[in-house]
Each structure stands twice: as structure tokens, then as C-alpha cells.
Amino acid sequence: MKKQVYSFGGGTAEGDGKMRDILGGKGAGLAEMSKAGVPVPPGFTISTEVCSLFFENGNRVPNGVDEQIHTALEKLQHEMGKKLGGIDDPLLLSVRSGAKFSMPGMMNTILNLGLNDDTTEGLARKTGNSRFAYDCYRRFIQMFGEVALHIDMAKFDHIFDARKAKIKAKLDTDLTAEDLKAIINDYKKLVKKETGNEFPQNAFEQLTLARDAVFNSWNTPKAIYYRRMEKIPDSIGTAANVQAMVFGNMGENSGTGVGFTRNPSSGEKVFYGEFLVNAQGEDVVAGIRTPQPIAELEQVMPEAYRQLREITSNLERHYRDVQDFEFTIEEGKLYMLQTRNGKRTGPAAVRIAVDMVEEGLISKREAVHRVVPNQLDQLLHPVLDPGKRKGLQKIATGLPASPGAAVGRVAFSSEDAVDLAAKGPVILVRKETTPDDIHGMDVSKGILTAVGGLTSHAAVVARGMGRPCVVGASSVAVDETRKQATILFEGKRLLLKEGDWISLDGTLGEVYLGQCKTNEPDPKSHYFATFMEWADEFRGGFGVRANADIPRDAKQARLYGAEGIGLCRTEHMFFAEDRIAHMQAMILARDEKTRRKALQKLLPMQRKDFAGLFQAMDGFPVVIRTLDPPLHEFLPKRENLMVDIARLPHAGLKDKKEMAATYNIGVGELKKHLPQLLERVEELHEFNPMLGHRGCRLGITYPEVTEMQVRAIFEAAVQVAKKGVKVIPEVMIPLIGNVKEFENQKAITVRVAEEVLGAAGMKNLKYYVGTMIEIPRAALTADEVAREAEFFSFGTNDLTQTTMGLSRDDYTKFSKQYENLKIFKADPFAVLDQDGVGKIIELAVKLGRKTRPDLEVGICGEHGGEPSSVEFCYRVGMNYVSCSPYRVPIARLAAAQAAIAGESKAEAQRTA
């Protein structure tokens, strides 16, 4: 059988840091540190492939693997001079998960494995410290009971807390050896009650159950949820790392900690982390006790601190990236338990990338490739308005675990957070979070915990998710059962209940009662601007435009680096309060003359909007789509009209005034107008509006609508061009399925454009007429369409609907089941379906360019800001993507990374 178990320690290792696929991130880090001579407790890693074999083999490890495990264990016992299960001087083990990609807290860990009634006595005799031995045994039973025997942790906690209460102990360390013996006895009774069996005394049986529990933890709901959230493949599995225990709970000269070589929240180049004296590693990350800042370790254990700084600095230089490390100090001696590239917030990722280039550690190319595009979203997080903040009551302070501002209603459990999030923004407030809270954290705008430090579960996961987070707010006493929290802050007592509004500042670690206004961040900051400049260097000529309907959005888009507007939806302009009445008058008109009269009132309003867009996009193209939605969307709902018509004869003057205001008419017009509206609504009713009378079909039926819009576009272009602003109008005809539809609308567009430009003496002003490809037939006949169209823009929202036969609005009813069953890899309306919809797009690009080699091609659906979809657009030869203004930086970075990947692939092919 091929090698599946790799030993490490004692300055040697059978693997190395490049074997992350096989050893997982943790195992690869341990192997690399061992080879570098870093003090690492020896052990062995069971490969990620065994995890896959485990599930294929009916949740059993194949015999060949068991033999390799026994061989590696014998080697470890020989190196340590101890035996697993040995009574006089027992070898104790930790068993930890470790996938290729970091999944903090999502999978299982067991410490102190090998303890039983006899070995615990032997450990007590060997160390001369019975309290330490019994503390390790009670921890092991508790952890093993939850992870391997599936007993609710709360039942162990109840026993532990009851004993503390009985002896009036404030801290865990106040418990004596006799107290711990009593707790162990009660724990064993609990195990017997819950499982029907005694707690396992055979150390080899413990190891087998622990290893299997680690593999099984790969498929727990929280791990599956996290992988889906982080887009980690299900197929890669986790490794299991078995390592000799070292003990941070042997007294005041022992301790344990977690740290980063730079601040993972801000990116600042400072030594960052926390530690606890006389504790084991899980105490730090679980948030059970609020730890001390790592800088204070220099005073407590100066030699261990000096060695830790030296080792971690070397590790950062070796890996050329920020390191997330874990360490234990056993009676003054330092051991490194883990190093891996650290998770970091978006702001930190950008700052670290820029700093490392300036320090000469990495190249610009590496810096651009290193930041995950979606992380840039975090740099665009709002901050609490300083002026409005002053008017709110500060109710708590804690540690600033993840930056940004969040405002929402309080929820005290993850389940309640999910329910409340359906109604509005939520802040999850917990004593401390656990991996089981992942679904609640995911739907929350921000997270607040009463205990825990900057490396606690809440802090690490919130940073990875880009959620503002404050931890260690000790003044907050959470009562999940009563769904409330009591806060004692600056001498004032406050009761916070579920549904109350709070405002959270994750940058400063502050919490306020009430709703605070938020302000947008500054995209011109040094680090962000420098990084995006580098990204644009590698992006080359691939464009990023924005979807913007009004001048304000266009200005915001330019601020974030948009190089034009890829989609202006003209229909959004008609819903404004001063326009909807004219739009409805046009719809109600029974003849062309009356329609034109209503349209004439809309023309100056549209002209003004278009002028603002041209002005904001000085020198960049502006793609304006003619009217797309069906006309009934501009009219009141049929049910509401029927109710109001029935109420009208019985309504008082106050109700009539409210009704008249709703319909933008006078009170005296209600009796005549409402029945007319209802009649027209019923005439316009369609069984399938998405495939009905909309898009170019409206323009063909009512050419005067297209005429008005085109006239407004070119009158605005003339108006702005006369001010010396360069204008590039691109008129886009929506929903064509047949080239003849496009020919019809193009003829109207060109006729009106030439008329307006001719009258203004601007016949040389260059403009383009193209189409939105959102129906499969248009894509399949793209060669015909390209004879007339000067550009294509793929409307992937509707193209996904029409290709997959899915309603975007109704898909959500069964989407989770489809994604859980892996029928769809991801939501096809969020991530482009490259295997289906993508093939149609690729074919359309090839057909279009075959007819018109210089055809401009882009995408303007929501997929235009999703990184993997941007990479696809680059790969199939599009000219640009267009997305919402706030996703423009994400698209710019994704395009740069796609270009770098393309260059690397081409280089590999040349040298092959």
C-alpha cells in the first residue's frame, strides 16, 4: 500500500511544507518546522487521502493504513522513551484535524489521549504534581466524551460548574486535586449513563476512536457549512495529526498561546497574540478565559518570549507570509505546535501585501495574486458616523477583533439570528461563540462576545468572514435562556433584550445602544490605492465598468475605479415620485398621440439623468439600455386596486386624501381613475411576464417609447459634449431573440440619433448600437446578430433563467436542497454556471467575432462582480465586465489575477 502516514520531529520529517495536499496545512507546517530544527513535539500525520478512504470504506480505516499507524507509533514511542498506555511514565498524545485550507474550529481536536485510571496515577507520581495529572484527565474525559462519544458538552460543564459553586471557586485553578477527582468520578458516571459503557481505559482504543472522530468531523454540518461559505472543495478531506503532548498546565512556569507575526485585523507589523499561564491550548481559542496580550509574556517568561520572537520571525521570512502559530511552554521550555499562513481581514491583507513588497519579501505580482478578491469588500465597509455616535449611549467596550461598523437588532442565539435576519440586520451577541454558531455568524452583520480574546473562535472566524466583531466585553452578562443580557458599564445597569438595536465598532472595540448612522470608507487611502494601482498594471486592457442608473452611483463608481458604465437601466428612472404619474399616463393612453404627449413630459427628465451620467464618466463609455420590464410593473398591483375601489364609497376625507396621494392624483379623480387603472392592469396581465411583452418587444409595439429614450440620450450627449466633455454613448437593445428585432430598433435609434446630432452640427460624434444577449436563440445566432450589432453585453441574470429554465425569484424555495445535494455547485444566479450557461456565452463570443472581429463584448449581470465569473469572462475573450459600483475593486483584482494566471499558463506551455 502507498505511504499514508508521515512521521516528523527530532530535526527530521518524512514530509515537507510543499505537501499541503497530502499532509494538510497543519501537517505540512509541522514537517517543515521539524526539518528547520524548530522545537516541535514529535508525532505523525495520517494523510488527507486516508480521510477519503475512510468514507469509501464505510467509516473504517483500511488495514494497510492501520499497520502504517502502528509503525509510526512505535517510532514515536522509541523517540520519546515512553509507551502509550504505559503506567509508570505514559506517553500522552494530541489528535488534531488539519485540512489543506484553514477551517478554524470547524473540526475536532482531542488532547491528553492515553490517560486512564492507572496512567493518571502514574503521571501524578512521575511529575510529583497530582493536581496537574487529574486536571489533564478531567480535560481528556470531557473532550473525548464530546468529540468521540457524542455527549453534549453542556452536561460536562454542568458538573464542572456545580463543583466550583460548591467550594466557592472563582477560577478553574482554584480547584484542588481532590475536587478534580470528584469531577472525574461524576464525568465517568455521565459517560456510563449516556453511552451504556464505561469510559474507555485502553489507550489504543482511545487513539482509534479519536482518529475516526477527526475524520468524521469533516462531514459535520458546521464543517460543511463553513466549506460552502469559504468555497472549499468537499473532496479534499482532512489529515489527522497525532503528536506527543507537551503541557502548558504544569504550573506558573508553563503556559500556552496563539499568535500572528503581524496584526491580522489591521495588517500592522506588530507581534500579535495572547497567552495563558498554567493552561492548555484549547483554553485560549475557546474563549473560556480572557487571556493576556502576548507582549506581557516578555515579563512573565523572558527567555521563552525571546526564543518565540526569533522562531516566528524566521518562519515569516521562510514562508514569506504572515504566520499564525500556536505554542506551549512546559516548565520554561518552548515548543511550537503549529504554523500556517494566517487568515486576515481584507484591510490587513492589502496592507500586508503592500508592506511585504516594500520590505522586499515578495514581488508586486505575488502581492496582487495573494489577496482574495472578495476580501476587498471589507475595505469598503462603513464606519460609524462620529457626529451621530456622540448622541448614543456607549454600553460596552471590548477588544477590536475585526474592523468595520455594524448596526442591527440583537439576537442571543444563532437560531434566533437566522430568524431575525430574514426581517432585517442582526448583531449576534453571545457569551462566546463556538463552531456550532457558524450559521448565526454568517447571517449576522456583526458579532459581540462577553469573553474571549483576539485569537478566540469569534475573532478568528469573524475576521475570515469580514464581519465587524468585538470580543471580551466583560461588562456584558448574556442570559441566552431569557434572551437578554445585563450590562454594567461605568456604574450604569442596562437590560438588553432580543430585538433591541445596537451599533458596533469593530475597529475601536466599542458598542452603542441604538441605531447609528454609518459613513462610507475612503477608497483613496495609501495602501488601498497603491494595491489597486498594482492590480491595474497586471489587468492590462481588460475593462471594468459599473452598473449605474443615476449620477450619484456613477460618481461612486468612478471613485472605485470604474472605466465606464456597462449598464444603465432606464426603467429605474421612471419610478421616481415626479415621474411615475407621467409613465402611468403613457401606459393608460389608448392612442399614439396621447402616448407621445405623456412621453414628451418624461423626455427632459431622462435627458437630465443621461447628462449627469455622461458628465460623471468623462471620456468613458456609457451603455444605456432601452426600456426593458413589462408595463404592468409601473402600475399598482391588481389586488390593491380592487381593495381601494371597494373602500372608496365608504372612505372619509382623510382616507381619500391618503389614497389620492398613493396614486399621485387629486381626490376628485379617484372615482374615475381607479377603475381605469384596474382595467389596464387586467389587460396587461401576463401568465409569464419574464417571457412576455417586454424589452425590444415593447419598442417594436410602441416605437415612440424607443424614440423618446434615444432622443433623450443624444440630446444629453450634445449638451454635455458642448461643455468640452468627451461623450461615448452606447445604446443597448434588450431581449432580442431574432436579428430582425434588433434591425427594427436599430433603425429607430440611428434615425433619431442622426437627426439630433445633425441639428446640433455634431455628426462626427461617435456612438454605438448593440444588444443585450439574454435569450439562448440570440446567442446561438450571434453570427447573424453581429452583422448589425456593434457590441454584445451578456445579461447573465436572464440568460441563466432562460438557459436553465429557472426562475430567479422562485429558485430560493428549493435552492438549499439543490446545493446540499450538490446538484448545483453554487447558486447559479450568484456564480456563473460555466458548464452550461458559460458554453452558450463562449459560443456566442466566437460566432459574433467570426462575423465582426472587432466586436466589443462584455457582461452586465450580477456575475460581473463575482471573481470566478470574472475569470471566465477574461478567459473567453470578453473586453470588460460590469458590476455594481461597490464590487468594482473586486472585479479589478479578479481580472488582474485572471491575467496573471493566463500569463503563467502560457509560459508553462512555452517551456513544456
Q: What is the 3 state secondary structure string of 327-391? A: EEEECCEEEEEEEEECCCCHHHHHHHHHHHHHCCCCCHHHHHHHCCHHHHHHHCCCEECHHHHHC
Exposed e or buried b for every residue in 41-74, given b needs 16+ CB within 10 A?
A: bbbbbbbbbbbbbbeeeeeebeeebeebbeebbe
Phi (first) and psi of residue 360, to 5 degrees? 80, 10
Q: How far apart are CA 90 and CA 150, in angstroms?
A: 26
Given the residues 51, 136, 381, 457, select the one marked as catalytic: 457
User: d(Cα 205, Cα 201) in Å, to the nearest integer?
Assistant: 8
Q: Is the dihedral angle over the CA atoms 895, 898, 902, 904 positive or is it negative? A: positive
Q: How far is CA 582 from CA 587, 598, 652, 680, 893, in A?
A: 9, 6, 27, 15, 43
Rounded to whole angstroms, the Cα distance separating 897 from 901 reads 6
Rounded to the nearest 10 degrees, what angle do helices 867-875 and 888-911 cross at? Answer: 50
Which of 687, 688, 769, 712 shows the shortest CA–CA distance to 736? 769
DSSP calls for 870-890: HHHHHHTT-SEEEE-GGGHHH
Neighbours of 806 (CB within 10 A): 18
How far, CA to CA in Å, does 802 sit from each of 441, 773, 798? 34, 11, 6
Helix (H, G, I), strand (E, B) or coil at 263: coil
What CA dihedral angle connects 384, 386, 391 and 395, to 10 degrees? 50
Task: Tell me whether residue 568 is one of the annotated catalytic residues.
Answer: no
Question: What length does the chain have?
Answer: 912
Place of cell 452578562: 477
Sign of the CA dihedral with 259 first, then 264, 269, and 270 last: negative
Q: What is the Cα–Cα distance from 403 to 264, expressed in whole angstroms? A: 10
Amino acid identity, position 898: A
Active site residue 457: yes
| Alpha helices in 217-330, H assignment, sequence order | 221-230, 281-285, 297-300, 302-319
Closest CA to 470 of 454, 492, 488: 454
Read off the amino acid at residue 595: R
The x, y and z cell numbers of residue 522, run together, are 475612503
Residue 399 region by backbone torsions, left for phi larger than 0, else alpha for psi between -120 and 50, else beta? beta
Catalytic residue from among 516, 568, 696, 860: 860
Max Cα distance, the chain (Å): 103
Q: How far is CA 694 from the centre of its chain?
A: 35
Within 10 angstroms of residue 247's Cβ, the number of other Cβ atoms is 25
Cell triple for 549: 442608473
Distances (CA, A) of 56 to 50, 288, 462, 819: 10, 37, 34, 22
Q: What whole-number distance in Å separates Cα of residue 374 and Cα of residue 823?
A: 25
The alpha carbon of residue 746 and the mean position of all alpha carbons in its chain are separated, in whole angstroms, by 42
**Residue written as cell 466549506?**
227
Q: Up-side HSE of residue 433: CA atoms within 13 Å toward CB?
A: 37
Rounded to whole angstroms, the Cα distance separating 7 from 14 reads: 6
Question: What are 406's strand-pairing partners?
Answer: 504
- Secondary structure of 809-825 as H, E, C letters: CCHHHCHHHHHHCCCCC
Which amino acid makes up residue 725? Answer: V
Catalytic residues: 457, 860
